[in-house]
Chains A and B, each alone.
Chain A
Amino acid sequence: MSALELILSMALGVYALRLGGLLLAGARVPPAWEQALGFVPVATLTGLVVSSLAGRPDEGAIRLVVAAAAGLAAWRTGRAWVCILSGMALYWLLRLA
């Protein structure tokens, strides 16, 4: 398989998954599945947070501490930008220290 064929096969596979969900949404899904779907965003976001934190084990401790503090900031203020800005500021501060 040439590089071009491989790239197009990957593209076709990903697009089929992206479109598949949108197309299947009209179909009847068992209630238990439907209930589970309501929790997909929280579960997937948690998975993304954990796997993106675990991606840098060299800075694991600092990133974990800052993530906990930034999470608390998000919870108390309910504002996304407070979480992100305070998190990055604290992170660079701790890296300097």
Chain B
Amino acid sequence: MEGRERAQDERASGVLFVRGFVALLPLWAGAIPIGIAYGVAARGGGLSFGETQLMSLVVFSAAAQVSALSLLDAGAPAIAVVGTTLALNAQVLLIGLTVGRELRLSPVGRLVMAYFLTDGAYGVAMAGGRLRWPVLLGTGVSMFVAWNLGTALGAAVGDALPDPRRLGVDFVVPLTFLAVLIPLVRTRAAALTALVAGAAALLLTWLAPSVAVLGAGLAGSAAGAWWARHDRPGADSTPHPDGNAR
């Protein structure tokens, strides 16, 4: 009996993993061109094929890797490169906190999940409603495969490829985030969160682009929490049209 239940559990987990992997496929259209761009730029910046690919395998962060190339090119010290890497990925700490609260993971599960945890993968995994670990692992691995495939292509073929940015394929990235975001904005507190986060991101993109997403995440969630605290209990429901509090 127990063996059969476990086998069913494993099969269900496998199905959910594949579902997550497939759900992230639209983001491949964004990740692969950026991976190619990174691969080309890294080879151009003097990294070997092995170093270029290794960075994608172990760092696995487009923003950090692309910024590292430009910092190294500008002669920045290693400490600045590592510091920027941390700043660019600080939102992953917050996402880890939310994921850790929603999912009960074993110690080994945490070690594995942490390796593949990115904001994009989390965003897509959230779209199904309740967060499940096999789906999140599926979206994470899917992004990992796309990123490393793009890197390998870019590093191998170099600048012989046409510029994918000219085709505008990267536009699928904001569209995908938008498609995940919209259904989540159901309450006034969530709408205020998005509004403040959007304004913060716009301002920071201009002032300090490397921390735009982190700043938006902090400012937006602080605003949402503030609203929810001061507008309780109506924060999570629309007010009645006749104005009567119930």
CB neighbours of A18 from chain B (8 A): 89, 92-93, 96, 114-115, 117
Tell whether A80 pairs with B193 under 8 Å between CB atoms, given A19-B110, A21-B92.
Answer: no
Contact residues on A (Cβ < 8 Å of other chain), bracket: 35 or more
User: Is A23 an interface position by the 8 A CB rule?
Assistant: yes
Compute how far the CA of A14 lies from the CA of B96 in the bound complex, rounded to whole angstroms. 12
- Contact among B47, B115, B212, B220 with A42 in the assembled complex (CB-CB below 8 Å): B220
**5 A-B residue pairs with CB within 8 Å:** A6-B81, A10-B68, A10-B81, A17-B93, A87-B175
A14 near B176 (CB under 8 angstroms)?
A: no
Structural contact, B85 and A10, CB atoms closer than 8 A: yes
CB of B54 within 8 Å of the partner chain: yes
Q: Are A14 and B221 in contact (CB under 8 A)?
A: no
- Asked if B161 is at the interface (CB within 8 A of a chain A CB), the reply is no
A44, B201: Cα distance in complex, Å: 9
Interface SS of B by simple majority: helix
Residues on B with beta carbons closer than 8 Å to the beta carbon of A25: 96-101
Provide the A1-39 mask, 1 if CB < 8 A to any CB of B, else 0.
Answer: 101111111110111011111111110010010011111
Q: Is the CB of B197 within 8 A of A26?
A: no
Interface string of A40-51 (1 = CB under 8 A from B): 111111111111
Among B65, B178, B220, the most chain A Cβ lie within 10 Å of the Cβ of B178
What residue of chain B has the Cβ atom nearest to residue A47's Cβ? B216
Question: How many A-B residue contacts, CB cutoff 8 Å?
Answer: 278
Q: Which residues of A contact B (CB under 8 A)?
A: 1, 3-11, 13-15, 17-26, 29, 32, 35-56, 59, 63, 66-67, 70-71, 74-75, 78, 80-81, 83-84, 87-88, 91-92, 95
Once A13-B82, A25-B101 are accepted as A-B contacts, the answer to whether A42 and B193 lie under 8 Å apart by CB is yes
A residues less than 8 Å from B65 (CB atoms): 10
Taking a contact as CB atoms under 8 Å apart, the answer to whether B179 and A80 are in contact is yes
Check B221–A45 contact: CB distance below 8 A.
no
Inter-subunit contact A38/B224 (CB<8 Å): yes
